[in-house]
Amino acid sequence: MSNDDKSSNNVELENIGRRKFFGKTAILGAGVVAAPMTAAMFASTAKANAAEYSKNKAFVHPGDLDEYYGFWSGGQSGEVRIMGIPSMRELMRIPVFNIDSATGWGLTNESKRIKGDSANIMVGDTHHPHMSMTDGRYNGKYVFINDKSNTRVARIRCDVMKTDKMLTVPNTQAIHGLRVQKVPYTKYIVCNGEFEVPIVNDGKASLEDVSTYRSIYNVIDAETMEMAFQVIVDGNLDNTDADYDGKYFASTCYNSEMGMSLGEMITSERDHVVVFSLARCEAAVKAGKFKTYNGNNVPVLDGRKGSQLTRYIPVPKSPHGLNTSPNGEYFIANGKLSPTVSIISIKKLDALFADEIKPRDTIIAEPELGLGPLHTAFDNKGNAYTTLFLDSQIAKWNVQDAIDAHNGKKVNYIRQKLDVHYQPGHNHTTMGETRDADGKWLVSLCKFSKDRFLPVGPLRPENDQLIDISGDEMKIVHDGPAFAEPHDCMMVHRTKMKPLKLWPRTDPMFAETIAIAKRDGVDVYSENKIIRDGKKVRVYMTSIAPTYGMTEFKVKLGDEVTVIVTNLDKVEDVTHGFCMTDHGAQMEIGPQATASITFMANKPGVYWYYCNWFCHALHMEMRGRMLVEA
C-alpha cells in the first residue's frame, strides 16, 4: 500500500499555491492590496467569516459547548485524547501508557501503582478506545484501550478522565483489536493477541519449528481488570467485535497459513473470521477443560479448528476491520486485500454452532465497494460507511440493498463515494457502535495529510476529517490535524457523561497514599510535616493558592525524598503543580486531590520547588526551598 500519486516530496510553498487559501495569501503578500486594512474592514471580514461559519453545522461558537465527546486513540504516543465534536477541538489528553510531563503520569507514585508490573515501561501503542455499555448503549463509566507494543490493556475512569487500571496480558504478544461486551452489560472486555508466539515462551522454542506458535483471544473481567480466560485460535487475530445478544464475539484473522514472512502470510486465497460462543467458553472454564501455561493460572481454552467453542468462517484473504451493525443483525468483515466486505448474518450463528449449516452459509452478501476496505461505520438509516484505504475514499452503501443485489435483484447498493485526504484507516459515526447510532457525524481518520496543512517537515500530522452524514450526501466540513497517530476513535453524546469537578477526598486513586500518611500519623488535610524513615524522607505539605503549607525543608545527601502534596482548594479548575527544580520531578495536584512523587537528593545545595500550573495572580510566588545538606 503506497501513497497515491497526489503525494509529492516537494514541499516548496509555491507548489501548494494552487489551493485557494494560498492563492489569497499570495496576493496579499505580493502587495497587490496596497491600502492597509482598516478596523472597519477587519470587522466586516470577521462578520462575513462568522456568517459563513455559522452555516457550517460543525462550527461551535466561542463559549458554546460541543454535542459529543470523542475519545481518540493517541497511537504510538501511548495516550488517549478527548475531542469535542463537532468542533474537533482537543479538550484533554489522558496519559495512559506514556509518561506525561504535565501531569506526572508514570512518575507519580499513584500512577506507578496503577501501572503495576509495567511501571518501568514508558511507551505504548494505543489503537482501540471503546466505552463500557449497558444493554448495547454507552453507560459513561469506562473507556478501555489496548497497548499493542507491550501487550497491555488499560481502563480510563470517565468521572475523572484518568487511567485507573492496567493489565499486562500473559501468554500472548501484541494486543490489537479490542471491544467490549455490549449486552446485557460490559462484563468482559475482549481483545486479540495478534502475534503468534510459542505457547510456552521460555527461550527453548526455535525460529524454524513454529508448530507451538499460537495466537490467543483474551477475555478480561471489566470490573476487576483481571484475566477471565483465553482461547487459542488458528491464524493471526486482527480486529474484533461483539453481538447485541450477549452470545457471540467475532474476530478477523489473517495469516491462516501461519507463515513467518510476508510472502508466506498471503499465499492462500482465504483467511477467516473466527466466532466465539461465550456460553460454551464459560462452560468449558467451569468444567475445567483448560490448561495453564508460563506459570500463571489463567485458564487457556483450545478454540482451534474443530473445537466446539468456535467456528471458522472463510472470507477473502487478510480481512481487517470487524464491525457489528447497530441493529444487531450483522458482523461485517472488511476485505483489505479484497475489494469486498463479507456480511455475516448473526441470526444464522446458532444454526452454525448446531452444525445445521456450513460456515459459508452465514455469509449473506459480499458487496464490492472499492480498493482496500478497512473499517465500516453505520448510521441509523441502514447505511454503512466503509473506508477505502487505496482509493482514499469512503463508500456509503446500503446494507439491505447489498443483500438484495447478492440475491439477484437489480439494485445499486452504492449511495456515494467521497474523496477523503488521504488513505483512511478507521472511521467512526456518532454513537455508531451502539443501539443509539444517530447518523449525524462521521469521522475519517486519514493516515496521510500530504498537502492539506502547512508543511511541517518530513513528519506530517494525520488528518482527522469530520463529515456531515445527516443529509443524503456526505459532506466534509473540517480537517483536523492530529499528531501520532489516532488509529481509532469513538463518539458519545454528552448526555451520557457525568465528569466530576473536584476530586472526592476518598478517591481510590490516592487512597494508598493517604493510608501511608495515616501510618505516619499525618492528617494530609491539616498538617505539614517531615517524616524520616532511615534514608527515606516523606515531606507532607498542603497547597492553597498561592502558597504551599511548607515553604522550606531540609534533607541529607543521599536521601530518597517523597513529596506528598494535598490540594486544599475547593475551587473548580484550580489545579496546582509541584516541581522540584533540577530533579526531574513534576506533577499535577487536582483540587482536593493528594499526589506524591519520589526522587533522590543526590546533589547538595539549595533547590527551589514551585507550582508549575498557573493557579493565581501570585502563582509565580508559589514556591519554597529544599536544602540538601552535604
| Residue 462 vs 507, nearer CB to ligand RUQ | 462
What is the C-alpha separation between 399 and 401, in angstroms, rounded?
5
Min dist CB 315 to ligand RUQ, Å, is: 16
Q: Is 469 left (phi over 0), alpha (psi -120 to 50) or beta?
A: alpha
Pick out residues in 521-580 that bind ligand CUA (CB under 6 A): 545-546, 576
What is the C-alpha separation between 333 and 322, in angstroms, rounded?
5
Q: Which residue has the CB atom at the shortest distance from ligand RUQ?
A: 425
Min dist CB 377 to ligand RUQ, Å, is: 12
- Contact between residue 541 and residue 550 where contact means Cβ atoms under 8 Å apart: yes
- Contact between residue 446 and residue 387 where contact means Cβ atoms under 8 Å apart: no
**Among residues 227, 611, 626, 628, the one that binds ligand CUA under rule CB under 6 A:** 611
425 contacts which partner out of ligand CUA, ligand RUQ, none, CB within 5 to 8 A by kind? ligand RUQ
**Residues 6 or more apart whose Cβ sits within 8 Å of residue 354:** none
Min dist CB 80 to ligand RUQ, Å, is: 14
The amino acid sitting at 194 is E
375 among annotated binding-site residues = yes
**Among residues 431, 615, 626, 628, the one that binds ligand CUA under rule CB under 6 A:** 615
321 contacts which partner out of ligand RUQ, ligand CUA, none, CB within 5 to 8 A by kind? ligand RUQ
| Residue 78 vs 104, nearer CB to ligand CUA | 104
Question: What is the sign, positive or negative, of the torsion defined by CA atoms of 14, 19, 25, 27?
Answer: positive
Comparing C-alpha atoms, which of 619, 616, 621, 579 is closest to residue 599? 579
Cell of 239: 480486529
| Residue 244 vs 609, nearer CB to ligand CUA | 609
426 contacts which partner out of ligand RUQ, ligand CUA, none, CB within 5 to 8 A by kind? ligand RUQ
Interface with ligand CUA, residue 344, by CB under 6 A: no
Task: Return the DSSP state at 251.
Answer: E
619 contacts which partner out of ligand RUQ, ligand CUA, none, CB within 5 to 8 A by kind? ligand CUA
The amino acid sitting at 199 is I
User: For the stretch 138-176, what's the b/e string if a residue is b when 16 or more beta carbons lie within 10 angstroms of its beta carbon?
Assistant: bbbbbbbbbbbbbbbbbbbbbbbbbbbbbbbbbbbbbbb
Task: Considering only the stretches 68-76, 239-247, 339-347, 607-615, report the one whose residues sit in contact with ligand CUA under the rule CB under 6 A.
Answer: 607-615
What is the C-alpha separation between 465 and 377, in angstroms, rounded?
14
Interface with ligand RUQ, residue 488, by CB under 6 A: yes
Rg (CA), the chain: 27
493 among annotated binding-site residues = no
The amino acid sitting at 286 is K
447 among annotated binding-site residues = yes
128 contacts which partner out of ligand RUQ, ligand CUA, none, CB within 5 to 8 A by kind? ligand RUQ
Min dist CB 622 to ligand CUA, Å, is: 4
**Among residues 188, 249, 510, 613, the one that binds ligand CUA under rule CB under 6 A:** 613
User: For the stretch 224-244, what's the b/e string if a residue is b when 16 or more beta carbons lie within 10 angstroms of its beta carbon?
Assistant: ebebbbbbbbbbbbbbbbbbb
**Among residues 564, 622, 626, 628, the one that binds ligand CUA under rule CB under 6 A:** 622
Task: State the chain's maximal CA–CA distance in angstroms.
Answer: 88
What is the C-alpha separation between 522 and 289, in angstroms, rounded?
51
| Residue 313 vs 611, nearer CB to ligand CUA | 611
374 contacts which partner out of ligand CUA, ligand RUQ, none, CB within 5 to 8 A by kind? ligand RUQ
Cell of 594: 493528594
**Residues 6 or more apart whose Cβ sits within 8 Å of residue 458:** none
| Residue 195 vs 613, nearer CB to ligand CUA | 613
- Quick note: the x/- pattern for ligand RUQ over 351-380, rule CB under 6 A, is -----------------------xx-----
Min dist CB 277 to ligand RUQ, Å, is: 24
DSSP string covering 175-199, please?
EEEEEE--SSB--EEEEEEEEEEES
| Residue 246 vs 546, nearer CB to ligand CUA | 546
- How many positions of this chain bind ligand RUQ (CB under 6 A)? 12
CB atoms within 10 A of CB 15: 13
The amino acid sitting at 155 is R
Min dist CB 507 to ligand RUQ, Å, is: 32
421 among annotated binding-site residues = no
What is the C-alpha separation between 374 and 390, in angstroms, rounded?
10
Q: Which residues pair with 253 in a beta bridge?
A: 237, 272
**Among residues 127, 396, 538, 576, the one that binds ligand RUQ under rule CB under 6 A:** 127
* Residues of each annotated binding site for Cu cation: 127-128, 176, 320, 375, 426, 487, 576, 611, 613, 615, 619, 622
Binding site for ligand RUQ (CB under 6 A): 127-128, 176, 239, 320-321, 374-375, 425-426, 487-488
* Residues of each annotated binding site: 127-128, 176, 254, 257, 265, 271, 318, 320, 375, 426, 447, 462, 487, 576, 611, 613, 615, 619, 622
Binding site for ligand CUA (CB under 6 A): 545-546, 576, 611, 613-616, 619, 622
